[in-house]
Structure formats: structure tokens, C-alpha cells
A and B are shown apart, each in its own frame.
Chain A
Amino acid sequence: MGTLGKIARRTFLIGTGLVAGGLAVGYYYYRRPYPNPLEGELTDGEVTFNPYVKIAPDNSITLVAPRAEMGQGVSTTLAALVAEELDVRLDQVTVEHGPAGHAYANTTMLEEGVPFPHFDESTIAELMRSGMAVAGKFLGLQGTGGSTSIVDGYYRMRQAGAAAREVLKLAAAKRLGVEPGTLWTSDGVITDPASGKILTYGEVAAEAAALAPPSEIRLRDKADWKILGKPQKRIDMRAKVTGAPIFGIDVRLPEMLFATLRMNPYRGGPIVGLDAGAAEKMRGVVKVIRLETGIANGFAVIADNTWRAFQAADAVQAEWGKGAYPPDDAGIFDAFDQALRSGDASYGRDDGNVETAFADAPRERIVEAEYRVPYLAHATMEPMNATAQLKDGRLDIWAPNQMPTLIRQLAAKAVGIETENCFVHTTYLGGGFGRRSDVDYAIYAALVAKETEGRPVQVTWTREEDTQQDMYRPAAVGRFRARLGEDGLPVAIDMRIAAPSIIASILPRYFPSLSPIGPDKSITDGSANQPYTIANYRVGGVKAPVAIPVGFWRSVGNSFNGFFHEGFLDEIAVAGKLDPLDMRRKLMAAYPTAINVVDKVAAMSRWGETLPAGKAKGFAFTLSFGTWVAQVVQVADVGGRIRIEKVWCAADPGQVMDPAIFEAQMMSGIVYGLSSAIGEEITFADGAAQQSNFHDYGPMRMFQCPQIEVGLLETAHRMGGAGEPGTPPAIAALANAVHALTGKRIRSMPLSKEVEFV
């Protein structure tokens, strides 16, 4: 940790030295800054060309998609990027996640961590982005998050395919005594059109792997793509419709034990007393151990099956010390309100002069509102779990996770071995949504494995534990005011938002010696960086000092700022007697991509057409993770309850690698957002979360799910993500539709506290 600590401290300061340092990003093949992690994993006769391609003599071809597959289709699309240039069909390759390795660092994820709006491409923003990318490479963080996988892989995966193809051609050319430029490649075969001779990739792989790729490799023109840009069959679909054992919870190893854990429900509190006497006598119980970590404190029960471990955990008597935060919602939100009133704000945006604009504003021209959202759980369908084995100084961890290199480092440290003796096997994830970019479950499993004398042990959390020990989406509050001009358009908007800092919660969990500095842009993400032009426009974020653990939740700060910003704009439109969609178009005039998606969704939803009585529509727009998204939600009154009938979504991510998968991601993001809006909430009483399972934390069910229509555009000039941008506008568009239907302006989530949904 020593050196890493120093580097990390520098880089979180966005180290000036590193910005100038100029480690080339994405040119692995030429510079080889990291060893190829596949070298150590080859089977008989197999060779590897770079960290993404392995080929065996029988022409079986393996591609590595080093990002967590949690449903977003990333394994298919990353493989497609390699396959396109390698000239193989997706149905003739095997796709693996591959080992944890620094060669697979996600540089885009860090690039997008800089405090500049996505559309700001001024020199300083670009410089900061490239600086962060270098830092990401330097730290070797392999992560899946921030909707970055495809953006990150777009060049380097295609380069990997092309580089391998070129050396295969070189090897074939040597063998055939012809010029490599005369050879054709397709479907994993090299053809010499002059002689009609054919060689498979496998036949020349061993010779090819020894050759250096040419220094210039031209990637194919988009017009020549055979796979990219077209819908592909997902490579994981068959496994997923046959119930195949592909998830973390399905890992089965010889001699494996089963365990579960219970951590202090007063988050961060200590263990005061623990009596496991009765539990240890129960059938099948091996032992009960204390788990005391910098993340949480509690105990684990090791048994010969999961159910017996669950039963015995219930029988342990634990006395828990309290957490360092107010015990109930009243106290918690008081702390938020106090931060909002008197905390130091950092301004993600400050155009014009807001104070002057409000100083002489006539009362009737001012709109004011306060908004609030609760903590939320991720509630992945597969509860947290990990399997670990510590034997002869080697630690293996099998885990559905979004951060393998971080696990490797921290789990090794937890059991006192060197990082290089820890091996992380990333399984399929039964949902991630950001929860699995925390790594608590893996560290706990490593600690449990310390107690099983070399036997592997699977640690499965109950749903109750998963709900109560989540790293929640932060609650947030906001106070907003606007001054309207004579034409009804806002001449000034002032937003102040208070929420806990996610990075300030995460860093000390895993790197207690690091202290995050500077503003946390996630607090204003989705409000401070939207493509609107308003003469006086200020958005400030205040860190709310509440110590309940928080983490990344699908779309992060955008998940509440989308609601705050777009809900408030809807109020402004109503006050200014303007059509809310029209008003947006006027304010977005400087951003053609925004106008494009707004116009598209207006056409798709027939915005402006009169609806029958008892139906209404709401609109919202959010640019997040580089993707421009406009949505319209239609609701209907059915006997006093509200049914969400239909959602239209227009999205522009610049380039779409797989339209079917992209559309599915938009749909998924929309359902995830709507689900939170119609009934999800984590509340606190007596120091603990009050919700525990799906009966009191209720996600959307099929009968509540609207029809969803997605339209895609490719006009933005930078490439955006897929996994998250669908979520933020859905929440706001629903709230705005509910207002249009009922006249009720609901400013706090979930909406179900004030209206009833079907």
C-alpha cells in the first residue's frame, strides 16, 4: 500500500506531473506497459497475441471481454469489437472474462471522473481527462462502471483484433511465399486467392504469435463493418435460458463449505457482545467467527450447507454498538437540511450573476421549491456472495464483481499475503447496478477462508443482509429558485443541493489512509452539467456529513439530479405558461444533439396531441455518461390509481455498437428508475434500516411495467454509455406526468407517498 498510497494521493489531486508524463493509452501492443495476463493461462498448444486473443491449433478461438457481465451485454459487444477486426464470427468464438490484470485497466471510467461537463471540450477539460486516464492506467484499475466499457474498448479491442489478424497474415504469407497484402481473411480462415490455398488461423497461430505486428494498423471503416452496428445474438443467452451455473452463487468446488454472515445493522458500529454457544452446537455448524473490518463488524457462521448457516446465524446472540449518525430519518434529514442551509458549497456551474439577478426580482416572477429523495438499495437479484479458498499461501476468490483488481489487492492484504498470490475469478453477475463496484463481500469471504484450513467456502448473504448492509444510493435534498423573464423563460436559476459524498464514503472503507479532497462532482451531476443556456445559472453542491455508507447506484448523482433539475424546469414551464418541451428546446438552442433527441421523442410520442380525459404525459431530458436522452412518460387514471402506460425514449450516444443491446439497456434503465419512483425507499429508525426484503422494499413488477419504445440517434460526436443514461429522465418524466394528470406537484420520492400506483 505504501507506494500505491502515495501515487493514489497524488492522482486524486489530479497530479500535474502525470498529465505531462504522457503514458500512451490504448496502444498496448506496441508498448506493453503491463505483462499479458493470458501468458500464464494457456492450454496445450494455445498461443496468445495480446491480452484479448488466444488461438489453439484446432482453430478454437478465445476472446477476452475483461468487463463484468451483469446483464448489460458487454461481453457480447466487447467480443464483437475484437471479432470485427480479427475476421471471425461471434458464433465461432468462446468469450471469457479473463483474469484480473492491470492490462485491462478502465481508463475511461477515470476520465469521466473529472469535474467538467461532458460537452466541455476546452483544452483544460481535455487535459484533465487525459491526465485522469493516465492515472487510471498507472493504478491499473480494472473496473466496470460509469457506462464506460464500450467507450473504453472501442479502439483497443479493435486494435487487438487487427493486430492479431495482421500477424496471422504475415505467418501465412511466409508459409505460402506470397505477399501478406494479397491474402484474404474471413471466418477465422486465411485464403490465398491466387493459388486457392486455405489456412486456418489455428494452423499458423504458433508462428504468428512470435511475430511483431506492423507498426501501422489501419482500423476498418465503419462502412465495412460486418458485425458492429448490427444487432448480435448475445453470447450468454443460451446459458441464461437453461439455468446454467454461471453466477457467483453457483460456484461449486470439492470439499466446499457454506457460510453466511450478519453484520452490525447500526452501520459502522462495533460488536459489544457475541454469544454463539447455541449456534455452534447446531447440526452441520463448523464454527462461528468474528469479522471485524474497517468496513463493518459482525460475524460469520460456517456450516456444511447454506440453510444450516442461515439457521445458526439466527441463533447467535449479538449485542451491537451504535453507528455514528442520527438514528432516524428525522435526525438524518435535519443534518441534510443544516448542510443545505449553512454548508460550504462548491459550484459545478456559475454563469452570469445569480445574486444580482435575484436582488431586484419581483416576487411574482420568482419560483421556489424544495426537493428531496431517500436512500435507495440496489437490490440486485443475486444477493451479495463470494467464494474463497486460502491454501498454501495462495488465495483464490470467485466473485460476481465489478472491480477485480481492487479485490485482488485488498483481499490479499486482508489475509496477509502478497497481491500476486491472489487470484480473482469473475463470474457472471446476477445484477450489479454499481453495488458490485464495492468489494466488501469479497474481503469478508477472504477472511472467512482464513478459518477453514484450506477448504473453499462460499459466503452467501441473506436478502435481509443484502438490503440492510447495502452501500446505498445517497439521500439528497435541494433548494431551488428561478426568476422568470417577461416571456416566461427563466433568466436566472439557482440550485443548491446537499448529499453525502460517495467517494468520501468509499475511500476510507478501502484505503483508510487516503483522504478524498476537493468537491465531489457527483452531488451536482445531472444538474450542473446540462446543455441549457440560462443567463444566470448556478448549481452548488454541499457535502452532507451523514456517515451511513453510500455507493454508486445506477447513474449515481444523476439519479436524483435528473429529478431535481427536470422537475424544477417543469415547474418553471408551468409558472411561465410555456409548453415544457418547447421551453427546453429554446433553452437548448446551442446544443443541436439535445434538440435532436427532444424532437425525436416529441415525434415518437405525438407530443402536443390532445389526450383523452384521464391521461397525461410528462417530459424530461438528461445528458449523462455522454448519452443524450429525452423521454416522455404517459400515465392514466384508473379508478383513482395511476397506471404508467407508456414510455418513449430517444437516445443519442454518438455511435451504437449493437442497437438491440443498447435498446435493452435503455429499457432496463427506465424500469430501474421508474421502479424507484413508484415505491422504493430505505428509511432509518433506531439506528438501522427499516427495510429488509422484497415485501417492504418492493421493486416494480410486471403488471406495473409500461410499454417502452426506444429510438436511437447517432449524431453526437463523442461516444456515450448505455447502462445508466436511461434512468435519470424516467424518474423526472414520471413525476411531471403525475403533475399533468393530477395537478399535484410531488417534490419528494417515492411518489407513492402521495399518490397511489396500480
Chain B
Amino acid sequence: MKLNVNGRDHDIEVEPEMPLLWVLRDKLSILGPKFGCGIAQCGACTVFLDGEPVRSCSVTVGEVSGAVTTIEGLMPDGRMHPVQQAWIDEQVAQCGYCQAGQIMTAVALLEAIPNPSDEEIDNAMSGNLCRCGTYPRIRAAIKRAASANAGA
């Protein structure tokens, strides 16, 4: 089976019903996407499939036809993505375990809606749990990244 992740092709031999998350983590050692629930409830495993955010724990590898992007693919030239930079500027992360998923969802939100309202932020981000309660700083970081967008 072929799988394209972050612009690289991989040949893998697994059951087609294996969730994409576990192929990434245990077969390819791409460890940015995290395991939190396994049932599309927490968002820790969020990756892009052809640019759309999906919960990789709940997509089987057999269903994947397009390109997969994980957080490792956000900075192809090694430079921080503006959303990651906003996360640093607002000092968002605490334990950090949810943050790869939060950032992936936020990147997708800002691509769809460059200047989201509070409600649009809440709607887009509510599938991503954070047990450390970083929500207020995530909101601030998304706004910061949005205004950087507007400035650019």
C-alpha cells in the first residue's frame, strides 16, 4: 500500500482497516499526531487529508487516497508556521499533548476563514480537548495569527 505523508511516499504493508493514526505512529514513527481517545472525540490526532482536517484515529488507512500532512509537514523549510509562531508568542502550551492537534485545527480554520469571529473560533476549535485549560490562550493565539494574516 502507498501512503504519501508530508510530501514523501511510503510503502507499507498493513491491514486496510488499520487507523491512519497508528500507521503514522507505529509504522512510520511520525509522532506529531497523538493518541487521545481513538473515537474522534478529542482532536489530538488531527492531520490534513488533501488539506482538510481529519481525526486520523477514525480514518482507516485503506480510505486514504490523497496526501497526508501532519504537524511535521507544517514547516517544510524548517521555518515556523505563523500559527506556531503565534502559539509561541502567546505561550499557549502547558503539558502540550493536545497542541499539535490544536494547531492543525487552527491552521485549517485560518485557511478557511482568515479573520474568524469569536464564535467561529469556538465552533472550529471545540472538537479539540485541552485538559490543561489553555483555551483562553489558544483564542488569543488564533487572533494574533489572524491579525498577522491581515497585516501580510
**A interface list, Cβ under 8 A from B:** 69-73, 233-234, 236-247, 249-250, 252, 258, 283, 305-307, 310, 379-383, 428-433, 460, 462-463, 660, 664, 667-672, 675, 693-695, 699-703, 705, 707-708
Residue B36 interfacial (CB < 8 Å): yes
Q: Which residues of B contact A247 (CB under 8 A)?
A: 34, 97
From A70, A381, A432, give the contact of B42 (CB < 8 A). Answer: A381
Give min CB distance, A657 to chain B, whole Å.
Answer: 15
With an 8 Å Cβ cutoff, the count of chain B residues facing the other chain is 58
Q: Which residues of A contact B98 (CB under 8 A)?
A: 381
Q: Which residues of B contact A381 (CB under 8 A)?
A: 34, 36, 42, 44, 95, 97-98, 129-132
Q: Which residues of B contact A433 (CB under 8 A)?
A: 131
Interface of A is mostly: loop
Pairwise interchain contact A307-B26, C-beta atoms closer than 8 A: yes
Compute how far the CA of A374 lies from the CA of B134 in the bound complex, rounded to whole angstroms.
25
Residue B139 interfacial (CB < 8 Å): yes
From A239, A252, A702, give the contact of B135 (CB < 8 A). Answer: A702
Pairwise interchain contact A241-B87, C-beta atoms closer than 8 A: yes
Pairwise interchain contact B26-A306, C-beta atoms closer than 8 A: yes
Contact status of A668 and B71, CB under 8 A, knowing A237-B91, A702-B122: no
* Closest 10 pairs between A and B when the two form their complex, measured CB to CB: A671-B133, A243-B32, A430-B97, A240-B96, A71-B95, A71-B94, A243-B71, A243-B100, A694-B41, A307-B22
From B19, B91, B128, give the contact of A307 (CB < 8 A). Answer: B19
Give min CB distance, B142 to chain A, whole Å.
Answer: 10
For residue A246, which residue of chain B has the nearest CB?
B96
24 A-B contacts (beta carbon < 8 Å): A72-B94, A240-B96, A241-B87, A242-B72, A242-B75, A243-B71, A305-B27, A307-B19, A379-B131, A381-B34, A381-B131, A383-B35, A430-B97, A433-B131, A460-B35, A462-B38, A463-B39, A664-B137, A669-B133, A694-B37, A695-B39, A702-B126, A702-B130, A708-B136
Compute how far the CA of A576 lies from the CA of B131 in the bound complex, rounded to whole angstroms.
39
Interface residues of B in 77-126 (CB under 8 A from A): 80, 84, 87-88, 91-100, 103, 121-123, 125-126
Give min CB distance, B63 to chain A, whole Å.
Answer: 15
Residue B33 interfacial (CB < 8 Å): yes
Q: Which residues of B contact A431 (CB under 8 A)?
A: 95, 97, 131-132
Q: Which residues of B contact A305 (CB under 8 A)?
A: 18, 22, 26-27
From A234, A383, A432, A693, give the contact of B93 (CB < 8 A). Answer: A234
Pairwise interchain contact B91-A243, C-beta atoms closer than 8 A: no
Compute how far the CA of A234 lies from the CA of B87 in the bound complex, rounded to whole angstroms.
12
From B42, B71, B92, give the contact of A242 (CB < 8 A). Answer: B71
Compute how far the CA of A245 lies from the CA of B92 in the bound complex, rounded to whole angstroms.
18
Compute how far the CA of A430 lies from the CA of B134 in the bound complex, rounded to whole angstroms.
13
Pairwise interchain contact B96-A249, C-beta atoms closer than 8 A: no
Residue B31 interfacial (CB < 8 Å): yes
Pairwise interchain contact B95-A702, C-beta atoms closer than 8 A: no
Pairwise interchain contact A672-B131, C-beta atoms closer than 8 A: yes
Compute how far the CA of A246 lies from the CA of B139 in the bound complex, rounded to whole angstroms.
25
Give min CB distance, B15 to chain A, whole Å.
Answer: 7
Pairwise interchain contact B36-A73, C-beta atoms closer than 8 A: no
Pairwise interchain contact A241-B95, C-beta atoms closer than 8 A: no
Pairwise interchain contact B84-A701, C-beta atoms closer than 8 A: no
Pairwise interchain contact A702-B26, C-beta atoms closer than 8 A: no
Given A305-B26, A703-B122, 5 extra CB contacts under 8 A: A381-B36, A431-B95, A433-B131, A694-B37, A702-B138
Q: Which residues of B contact A432 (CB under 8 A)?
A: 95
Q: Which residues of A contact B80 (CB under 8 A)?
A: 241-242
For residue A463, which residue of chain B has the nearest CB?
B37
Pairwise interchain contact B38-A463, C-beta atoms closer than 8 A: yes
Pairwise interchain contact B122-A240, C-beta atoms closer than 8 A: no
Pairwise interchain contact A693-B87, C-beta atoms closer than 8 A: no
Residue B25 interfacial (CB < 8 Å): yes
For residue A304, which residue of chain B has the nearest CB?
B26
Interface centre among B126, B135, B137 (most CB of A within 10 A): B135
Q: Which residues of A contact B138 (CB under 8 A)?
A: 702
For residue B15, which residue of chain A has the nearest CB?
A283
Q: Which residues of A contact B92 (CB under 8 A)?
A: 241
Q: Which residues of A contact B27 (CB under 8 A)?
A: 305
Compute how far the CA of A708 lies from the CA of B135 in the bound complex, rounded to whole angstroms.
10
Contact status of A306 and B91, CB under 8 A, knowing A242-B84, A381-B44, A703-B122: no
From B15, B91, B123, give the contact of A660 (CB < 8 A). Answer: B91
Pairwise interchain contact A693-B91, C-beta atoms closer than 8 A: no
Contact status of A249 and B34, CB under 8 A, knowing A433-B131, A703-B126: yes
Interface residues of B in 25-58 (CB under 8 A from A): 25-27, 29, 31-39, 41-42, 44
From A250, A307, A382, A693, give the contact of B31 (CB < 8 A). Answer: A250
Compute how far the CA of A637 lies from the CA of B97 in the bound complex, rounded to whole angstroms.
34
Pairwise interchain contact A306-B22, C-beta atoms closer than 8 A: yes
Q: Which residues of B contact A249 (CB under 8 A)?
A: 34-35
Give min CB distance, A434 to chain B, whole Å.
Answer: 12
Compute how far the CA of A631 lies from the CA of B127 in the bound complex, rounded to whole angstroms.
28
For residue A245, which residue of chain B has the nearest CB?
B31
Compute how far the CA of A703 lies from the CA of B42 in the bound complex, rounded to whole angstroms.
14
Pairwise interchain contact B91-A695, C-beta atoms closer than 8 A: no
Give min CB distance, A190 to chain B, whole Å.
Answer: 32
For residue A256, which residue of chain B has the nearest CB?
B26
Q: Which residues of A contact B103 (CB under 8 A)?
A: 241, 243
Pairwise interchain contact B26-A693, C-beta atoms closer than 8 A: no
Compute how far the CA of A252 lies from the CA of B29 in the bound complex, rounded to whole angstroms.
8
Compute how far the CA of A670 lies from the CA of B19 in the bound complex, rounded to whole angstroms.
35
Pairwise interchain contact A258-B131, C-beta atoms closer than 8 A: no
Pairwise interchain contact B41-A693, C-beta atoms closer than 8 A: yes
Give min CB distance, A252 to chain B, whole Å.
Answer: 5
Compute how far the CA of A462 lies from the CA of B93 in the bound complex, rounded to whole angstroms.
24
Compute how far the CA of A247 lies from the CA of B34 in the bound complex, rounded to whole angstroms.
10
Q: Which residues of B contact A660 (CB under 8 A)?
A: 91
Compute how far the CA of A244 lies from the CA of B34 in the bound complex, rounded to whole angstroms.
10
Pairwise interchain contact B39-A429, C-beta atoms closer than 8 A: no
Q: Which residues of A contact B123 (CB under 8 A)?
A: 703
Q: Which residues of B contact A239 (CB under 8 A)?
A: 96
Pairwise interchain contact B26-A73, C-beta atoms closer than 8 A: no
Give min CB distance, A296 to chain B, whole Å.
Answer: 21
For residue B103, which residue of chain A has the nearest CB?
A241
Pairwise interchain contact A240-B99, C-beta atoms closer than 8 A: yes
From A236, A694, A707, give the contact of B96 (CB < 8 A). Answer: A236
Contact status of A668 and B93, CB under 8 A, knowing A250-B31, A380-B131, A381-B42: no
From A242, A306, A668, A699, give the contact of B129 (CB < 8 A). Answer: A699
Pairwise interchain contact A307-B18, C-beta atoms closer than 8 A: yes
Contact status of A668 and B34, CB under 8 A, knowing A241-B84, A694-B41, A702-B126: no
Give min CB distance, B87 to chain A, whole Å.
Answer: 4
Pairwise interchain contact B38-A73, C-beta atoms closer than 8 A: no
Compute how far the CA of A237 lies from the CA of B103 in the bound complex, rounded to whole angstroms.
13
Interface centre among A380, A430, A708 (most CB of B within 10 A): A430
Q: Which residues of B contact A236 (CB under 8 A)?
A: 93, 96
For residue A236, which residue of chain B has the nearest CB?
B96
Q: Which residues of A contact B97 (CB under 8 A)?
A: 247, 380-382, 430-431
Q: Which residues of A contact B38 (CB under 8 A)?
A: 310, 462-463, 693
Q: Which residues of A contact B41 (CB under 8 A)?
A: 693-695
Give min CB distance, B126 to chain A, whole Å.
Answer: 4
Pairwise interchain contact B99-A664, C-beta atoms closer than 8 A: no
Q: Which residues of A contact B71 (CB under 8 A)?
A: 242-243
From A379, A460, A664, give the contact of B91 (CB < 8 A). Answer: A664
Pairwise interchain contact B136-A707, C-beta atoms closer than 8 A: yes
Contact status of A241 and B131, CB under 8 A, knowing A668-B94, A702-B139, A705-B136: no
For residue B94, which residue of chain A has the nearest CB?
A71
For residue B121, which residue of chain A has the nearest CB?
A702
Contact status of A71 and B35, CB under 8 A, knowing A233-B91, A702-B135: no
Interface centre among A73, A307, A463, A668 (most CB of B within 10 A): A307
Compute how far the CA of A252 lies from the CA of B97 in the bound complex, rounded to whole angstroms.
17
Pairwise interchain contact A237-B133, C-beta atoms closer than 8 A: no
From A73, A246, A428, A705, give the contact of B133 (CB < 8 A). Answer: A705
Give min CB distance, A271 to chain B, whole Å.
Answer: 25
